[in-house]
Structures are given as structure tokens and as C-alpha cells.
Amino acid sequence: MTSGQRRFTRQRLVNGVQTALIMGGLALTLSLPGYLLAGLGGVLIGLSAVTVATLATSRVPARLILTQAGAGRLAPSQAPEIHALLARLYARAGLRSPPQLYYAATPELNAFAVGGPRDGGIAITEGLLRSLTLRELAGVLAHEVSHLRHGDTRVMSIAATMTRLTLWLTSAIQLAILFSLPLMLAGDVTMPWLTLLVVAFAPTLSTLLSLALSRQREYTADLEAAALTGDPKGLMSALMVLERQHGRWLSSLFGRQRPAALEWLRTHPDTRERIRRLAELDDDRHGPPLTTTPTRAAIPRRPPPLRSGDWRRRS
């Protein structure tokens, strides 16, 4: 095993441990207000609600979400180069379902994955197609394929459900304290200082943990994308393009120096840190590069957005 492969394995292990710790922190943050409300039964009810919500959202077809986002299905005949890339990425990732590619007519530079390994889809925007070469686009697609492969959409859905339930439970505690104020003023009930601390900090902590989880899954997807393409430089170049575009917007708001607290509130990690981590992998390839084509993908005809009933059809 080469030094690059050892770094890759070590970083993958670190990412997995960090994800497990963050999910454990979210579960603990949810359990505290549940326990304060109804003891052990409150904890079980809260965790059961998360399980039910996760099962319910997992049955929502990815195509329905993409329809609501105004995306249209990009057929293989409309984008043969991109579909060929995506099919090879699916094969390398071990995904057996046929690739589902969608197009959104927006100037924003964005790509996103919806669903899981069996019924997922990837959407790319007009701005992305106009800005990235085929080599750079391969890195971005590999990043999204990694999200599908590991069910990151479902993982983040679980985290979001935990955060919402934490907020609802702490709101219920606030109401209970409010109704108990007359008894507290009369001296019959003492002020629940520990409960007040939980109410004050649990929702914020849960939100910060969810954002940290999102950033961690992005790091993992970058790592997996480099392995899938065998070309970390392709994704690094794409990230540089995205940073230039998004950096202009942030600079217009905050000037050259961005607030340090902003990093805690981001769903994606700092691009410079992502590029640094990818650069550490660049001295060792994980397989033959998927593509080194420096030109942009040709799409002669853009698809219209899906209609309201199209989500029911697979093809």
C-alpha cells in the first residue's frame, strides 16, 4: 500500500468516526429535552418519531423532489458525453440502478443529488455546464454519485428531523415553565435552572451539529470522488471555479475578510480546505483517470422542466 493510499484509508476512517460522533451528539441533544418532559418514555418517543419520519421520507420518490425543483430529465441522446461519464461512475461506485440525470435552467453553479442508491437522481444547472470542462464536471458528478452511494440525503434528513424535534420539545418545555410561573412566584415550585439551560442551548447545539455533519459528508464525498475518477485535480479545478463565483458574492457582502463565525453556519466546508485535502491525495492515483477532456460538454437541446405527473414514470 502506497503512502497516498494509506492517507486515503486513514482519512476515510477519520471521516466515518466523526460522522458517528456527530450523529451520537444529535441523538443525545434530542434525548435531553425528551427526558426532562417525560423521562425515559420521552426519550423513546423522540427517537421513535425520528425513525418513523425517516421511513416516511425515504419513500418519497427522488423524481418528485426534482419535479418540484423545476428540473427536466436529460436523456442520453441529449447529453451522450455526460451520460457516458455518469454510467462509468455508477459502475465504479457499484450502483446497479440506471443513471438518472436532470437539468435545471438556472445560471447558478450547482449540482445536487436526491434519493439513495436504488432510486436517486443527479441534477446539474445551466451555469455549471457553461463554466466547467468535462474533466471538471466528472469530478463534480463523482462527488454527487458518492452522496447517492452512501445515502447522504437520507442521513441529512435524519439529522434535520432530530433538530426539528429538539426545537419542538424545548418549545413544549418552555410552555410548561410558563404555566408553572404562578407556582414559582408563590414559592411552591423552585426555578428549574438545569431545564432552562437545556431549553436555551439544545436547539442551537443541534443546529450546529447538523451543519457540522453536512460539512463532514462533503469532505467524505470529495474523498470518494477522487477515488472514483482517479483524478483529484479535476475536482480541485472545479472547486476553484466555484470558489471564484461564490467568493465574489461573499465579498460583496462582507468585503475581503469574511467573518470567522460564518464558517460555523455553512453547510459546505471552506473550499480552500477541501482543495488542500484533495491535494494531499494527488500524489497517488486510485485507478485510471476517468477523463482528461479539457473541453465543455455539448448539449444541443435542453430538456423542459418535468410536469407535475412525470415523477410517476421511471423513464
Residue 308 near residue 63, CB atoms below 8 Å: no
Residue 122 near residue 145, CB atoms below 8 Å: yes
Residue 213 near residue 163, CB atoms below 8 Å: no
C-beta atoms surrounding 242 within 10 Å: 21
144 is catalytic: yes
In the set 126, 136, 144, 263, the catalytic residue is 144
Quickly tell me which residue has 447558478 as its cell.
Answer: 108
Strand order across the 121-125 sheet? 72-73, 101-104, 121-125, 111-114
Name the DSSP letter for residue 260.
G
Alpha-helical (H) ranges within 180-308 are: 181-186, 193-229, 232-254, 271-281
Cell of 161: 428531523
Residues that are catalytic? 144
